[in-house]
Structure 1
């Protein structure tokens, strides 16, 4: 009798455990899944955000070196070489930050693409519509950053070429002017790409808040 009673006791405990586990592993709703993905994207882009201030500071520092080089005469050639080498190192640091920024966006895109199927699973048609608009904007944003990365990478390459030219005593002035003009045109491309990326980022954030509001969710950011 003791063994049977003990067995019933164990079976009861097992039933309770199974009940608790089944409750804990209850399937998430589509809204909850979407929320996890969108908040996951925020986490993935933390490294992206961390690159912004260092990148801007390096650009400012490099501009200061450029201005110093321009102000120096040919008699101060050794100083020009020194400053040019310092500027080249800064372009390499800028590239490193840009690579980290892009890597973060790539991770963000992988996370965000998990929403491809979920965005069409909502019972509320308005929620589905907002989710699809959110998805389209974000995918355009990733494409805009690819464009920005390409243009910025080209600008860095032209920057290094310019500083190497500064180190050449016999470089014709017209060659230097042509390189500066090429750089100015390239940074116009960078500015346009950056403007589009920022615009789409703002649109995404607005649409995300709209989705959260309709879904009754709170954003961590």
Structure 2
């Protein structure tokens, strides 16, 4: 009945000019860091179709709750559409998760390079940004798990709405569970966005310190 809030995406940068001052390790890190961004394009591309499905599901729910028991055939038709919608969203989440997993695998190649950095300030910044990125991936795992649980709650709700002997008390209890799960989804989404925003800023600071001249792309 509710969707996730919009995502803040990883910033993509294009290499313009690299200063020749011993930042070769940082340059190698740059390549993996930006490849990780590219690998998240599939994740980014899932957001529009997911939002569309969320909007469609909300309309289905709003229509269902306006119908009475005497229109059970119509209710069942709409709940079946809603259940199909849920399965389609689960498929999108699988694509999302694979994209994030591929990006993480690429980003993890950066970690051994951090210890090779000789400049203390640059090394400290590199450690900070890799830590934040790890926290971002953890935040995504939490978001994905919570969203899947919310879909399972939705599924239970629509299956209940197909019952001709459904008790109002049971329905209200399930709706309350759904709403509480949505609150957790929003909190997890906000945490993921916060980590993404922090990482984007740290990456910019890292490139500045390493004197890697880049152009930022939206």
TM-score, normalisation: structure 2? 0.86
Asked whether the equivalents of residues 88 and 163 of structure 1 are also in contact (C-alpha less than 8 Å), the reply is: yes
Unaligned runs of 5+ in 1: 1-27
Number of aligned residue pairs: 194
Larger fraction in strand: 2
Aligned to 2:158: 163
Superposed, 1:60-79 pairs within 5 Å as 60-79=55-74
Structure with the greater relative contact order (CA < 8 A, sep ≥ 6): 1 or 2?
Answer: 2
Aligned to 1:182: 177
The Cα shift of 1:142 comes to 0.4
Distance 2:172 2:215 in 1: 50
Aligned to 2:202: 207
Distance 1:181 1:171 in 2: 16
Aligned to 1:131: 126
Superposed, 1:35-54 pairs within 5 Å as 35-54=30-49
Larger fraction in helix: 1
Asked whether the equivalents of residues 38 and 112 of structure 1 are also in contact (C-alpha less than 8 Å), the reply is: yes
Unaligned runs of 5+ in 2: 1-22
Distance 2:28 2:102 in 1: 18
Give CA deviations for 1:16-49 in whole Å, capped at 9, x if unaligned: xxxxxxxxxxxx9211210111111111101010
Other structure's SS at 1:71 match = coil
Give CA deviations for 1:92-138 in whole Å, capped at 9, x if unaligned: 11111111111111111111111111012122211111111100000
Give CA deviations for 1:148-193 in whole Å, capped at 9, x if unaligned: 1111010001111111111110111111111100000001111110
TM-score, normalisation: structure 1? 0.85
Give CA deviations for 1:41-83 in whole Å, capped at 9, x if unaligned: 1111010100111111111110010000011111111110000
Aligned to 2:115: 120
Aligned to 1:34: 29
Asked whether the equivalents of residues 141 and 197 of structure 1 are also in contact (C-alpha less than 8 Å), the reply is: yes
Asked whether the equivalents of residues 134 and 208 of structure 1 are also in contact (C-alpha less than 8 Å), the reply is: yes
Structure 1 residue runs of 4 or more that deviate by more than 2 Å after TM superposition: none
Higher gyration radius (CA) = 1
Query: Measured at CA, do residues 93 and 51 of structure 1 come closer, stay the same or move farther in structure 2, by a change above 3 Å?
Result: same
Asked whether the equivalents of residues 39 and 220 of structure 1 are also in contact (C-alpha less than 8 Å), the reply is: no
